Structure 1
């Protein structure tokens, strides 16, 4: 079985890489802080010293990085992905804007490699369970070649055409999710302030047309004022910012998303960035 690389073992990447290892793939990993590689190393993964070393040892490398700046750094740094690109394949699962994805894709292609963007829909638990949704775009031959790996990490994958399509789709999805979460948090705060039973609210919502897995999963913890991180609030706010920038570029009015972004920004300023994005509820409760 071909050796596969994985760069970025954060809250998402560690689960994704773990599922590749569980499916029997020979795995090489790298992370900026090596301590995060230890669990996979114990399971038999090889730990590389640099991103370039991962590419040297693998024909295909996946990455899941926190933001556009880190995604660019891992590719363009002196010991980065771009140093060993001819004949290699790079699949970037990071959530970045279209401009970032195109810069990376163009550089990889110009160096003789193949590039696929593949941002994911899902959070920590789906990453651990192998039930992510991959929104791919770029080199179609690489999309076909990467399917066994995508299927080891996810339940569904969709090809969306040329590079940029995956990035745009992911920002739209996360913008909708963030706006929904902000409205949900406001509703829970209003219900609590109205002396309503939050468990009754959750039951009513779940029985009607607004029933959805996010409310069902997050609601009980939010009612307790607990926000264990599955998708960090700082990442949700970053995605809202990028989605709003896309809206500005395309002259699409987005007043609801803009208002939600302000709530996430306030929560982040209050030190809630590393909590789950549902912690926007804690910020609203504090403000009432």
Structure 2
């Protein structure tokens, strides 16, 4: 069992993940650019580091979950980054959703320090993070995964090995392209039905009685009907993941015309200032253009 964990990134997902590790009895040292976000964890028993390097200095396992590729680059390779202090034999588990190609480069940097790297993005939203029920998609050496599994089992219910370095991220980008498209098309259909005079609850009953029913939209619909876009996963991050999916598809010579169109819709909603809302807020752009609101009593 790894006794010491450095944990970097205390956002919507990172905070509950780090808290679960503290509760499980690990010695956890956390770092976040905004120190105030670390204070509740400090009260729960975590140590707070001034830099990523300090968080990694004595760690057997370093976990990273930050917003994008640039943020990962900063906490790994930048001044005060983990590469300055990363121990030989340590494992870095990066649960950020970033470029698979760049992640492979970081794995090489870690290997140069005698450490191992796993790309391990997650799905399950903040509820899954709070309950320790995330699903991990993992790329890297299988032996490293086996060593990291006791830590990952505190955080998730499912740990799916996808293959070599970058494979977990490729799987995550494919999943988010599907998820983003499902929600956007659901929103298009409901805006159309509402504009045509069909009540949203009536349309929802039809969907739930048809092959179009999906667990994702079952979950999102009540929030949309209330106009509650409290972020479970921010729209700006979904747009970022769609951009990464497009880059990966281009590199692999894979056409993704539907996902490319959906990316533009999320991009427009982001440009309207909706980036910090849940990604289901993409419906508000469609509503504004159509001149209707898809709202219903719960």
Question: What's the TM-score, normalizing by structure 2?
Answer: 0.94
Cα distance in structure 2, aligned partners of 1:97 and 1:210: 32
State the match for 1:66 in structure 2.
Answer: 67
Structure 2 unmatched ranges of 5 or more: 291-298
Query: Where do 1:111-260 residues align within 5 Å?
Result: 111-260=113-262
The answer to whether the Cα contact below 8 Å between 1:118 and 1:135 also exists between their aligned partners in 2 is yes
- How much has 1:199 moved relative to structure 2? 1.5
SS of the equivalent of 1:57 reads coil
The answer to whether the Cα contact below 8 Å between 1:50 and 1:80 also exists between their aligned partners in 2 is yes
CA-based RMSD of the aligned residues comes to 1.2
The answer to whether the Cα contact below 8 Å between 2:5 and 2:27 also exists between their aligned partners in 1 is yes
Cα distance in structure 1, aligned partners of 2:203 and 2:268: 25
Cα distance in structure 1, aligned partners of 2:121 and 2:69: 12
- How much has 1:217 moved relative to structure 2? 1.3
Instruction: Check if 1:31 corresponds to 2:32.
Output: yes
Structure 1 unmatched ranges of 5 or more: none
The answer to whether the Cα contact below 8 Å between 2:52 and 2:81 also exists between their aligned partners in 1 is yes
Number of aligned positions between the proteins: 288
My pick for the range that moved more, 148-157 or 263-272, is: 148-157
State the match for 2:102 in structure 1.
Answer: 100
- How much has 1:91 moved relative to structure 2? 0.6
My pick for the range that moved more, 265-274 or 85-94, is: 85-94
SS of the equivalent of 1:78 reads coil
The answer to whether the Cα contact below 8 Å between 2:91 and 2:148 also exists between their aligned partners in 1 is no
SS of the equivalent of 1:242 reads helix
Question: What's the TM-score, normalizing by structure 1?
Answer: 0.97
Cα distance in structure 1, aligned partners of 2:43 and 2:201: 42
Cα distance in structure 2, aligned partners of 1:152 and 1:63: 16
Cα distance in structure 1, aligned partners of 2:157 and 2:211: 25
Residue 206 to residue 20, structure 1, CA distance change in 2 (3 Å): farther
My pick for the range that moved more, 79-88 or 33-42, is: 79-88
SS of the equivalent of 2:192 reads helix
SS of the equivalent of 1:160 reads strand
Query: Where do 1:42-61 residues align within 5 Å?
Result: 42-61=43-62
- How much has 1:101 moved relative to structure 2? 0.6
- How much has 1:41 moved relative to structure 2? 0.8
Cα distance in structure 1, aligned partners of 2:245 and 2:45: 39
Cα distance in structure 2, aligned partners of 1:185 and 1:164: 32
The answer to whether the Cα contact below 8 Å between 1:118 and 1:134 also exists between their aligned partners in 2 is yes
